[in-house]
Amino acid sequence: MAAKKSVTPAKAAAPKKTTSNGRARTATGKTMDPELRRTAEMSALEAFKQRTEEGHKAAGRKPPSSLPFRGSGPTRRIDDALRDLAPLVTEDTKFLTAGHNPSDFTRSDTWRVLRIMGEIIEGFDNLNSIEKGVSIFGSARTPPNDPQYKQAEEVAAILARAGFSIITGAGPGIMEAANKGARLAGGRSIGCNIELPFEQGANPYVDTVVNFRYFFVRKTMFIKYSSAFIIFPGGFGTLDELFEAVTLIQTGKISQFPVILFGRHYWAGLVRWIQTRMLAEGKISEGDLDLLLLTDDPEEAAQAVIAAHEASSRTR
């Protein structure tokens, strides 16, 4: 009888290296380390500030960050007792930073819950009269002579004439265009401003401005008092609002809530990636793609919002 051959277990395939030396790289190909991360963070903040200032300058205004710092929040007063880390530390930064002095209750997270609750109440008080709201997002650096600025102004005007309140982040660029369109059309123009490490300032076309210290409170107000999001070309902040809305729809938290991507050419690459990666690899379902509406026409965008609101009213 032939002897059995010993079987040597196959060696597990070695994981493929994503780079020549096996180390992860940044999107620009650099090897990440704490110093690079710190530099990148500082550079990102400075670039964000410059983009915001460009929007004000393009509209012929002096950037608020070049004026004496006024702080933000409902009282427009800097609380020096909470600003001992650095002159540019915001409430969000302190809230998201672990650790505090347990002997000082006023600097604890428990105490901040009261501040957060007060900010939520103020938001409700200022915005609860909105029956039909639409939030419009986009880049702060878009100048008034840009076609997208004109389109944002037009879609806001159409919606304002249809009885919708227009809500933005209160800044320049696309936000200013939307507030301007609402104001000139006789509608309600609302700005939800956020405390930043530099003074952002509200554009001059806002009728009602609510100042927030905490991003998550502000984001809640955008969703709660809107019946649709119109997303013009923008950066990370714009994408943040986009994907938060889609997630809430996907998980059944909100319904009859159009998410409109304005500017087919700008969004084409993102949509292709969603199709070829997220959908192809089963991370989302095919129906999820229908949660996004793409258009280049202000009238189409406005009518999609109006139709969804009417459908939602019939359901209620």
Global pTM value:
0.76
Distance CA 187, CA 301 (A): 17
| φ, ψ for residue 211, nearest 5 deg | -100, 130
DSSP 168-180: E-S-STHHHHHHH
In a domain, 276, yes or no: yes
The tally of domains found in the chain comes to 1
Distance CA 232, CA 98 (A): 35
More confident: 77 or 171 = 171
DSSP E strand stretches across 15-82: none
In a domain, 93, yes or no: no
The answer to whether 210 and 122 have CB atoms below 8 angstroms apart is yes
In a domain, 88, yes or no: no
In a domain, 27, yes or no: no
Mean pLDDT of the chain: 81
In a domain, 28, yes or no: no
- Looking at residue 105, what is its pLDDT? 52
Element spanning 243, H or E: helix 236-250
In a domain, 39, yes or no: no
In a domain, 108, yes or no: no
Residue 250 belongs to domain with CATH number: 3.40.50.450
More confident: 254 or 37 = 254
Distance CA 4, CA 14 (A): 29
Query: How are beta strands 133-137 and 208-212 bridged, if at all?
Result: unpaired
Q: Does residue 16 surpass a pLDDT of 60? A: no
More confident: 222 or 38 = 222
CA dihedral 73, 245, 49, 86 (to 10 degrees): 50
User: What pLDDT, in 10s, does the model give residues 25-82?
Assistant: 766 677 766 776 667 667 766 766 777 777 788 877 877 766 654 444 443 333 444 3
Q: Distances in Å between the alpha carbon of 296 and those of 148, 264, 266, 293?
A: 9, 6, 10, 10
DSSP 84-153: -S-TT--HHHHHHS----TT-GGGSHHHHHHHHHHHHHHHHHHHTT-SSEEEEE--TT--TTSHHHHHHH
Distance CA 149, CA 179 (A): 11
- Looking at residue 33, what is its pLDDT? 66
The answer to whether 88 and 197 have CB atoms below 8 angstroms apart is yes
The residue segments making up the domain with residue 298 are 120-315
In a domain, 291, yes or no: yes
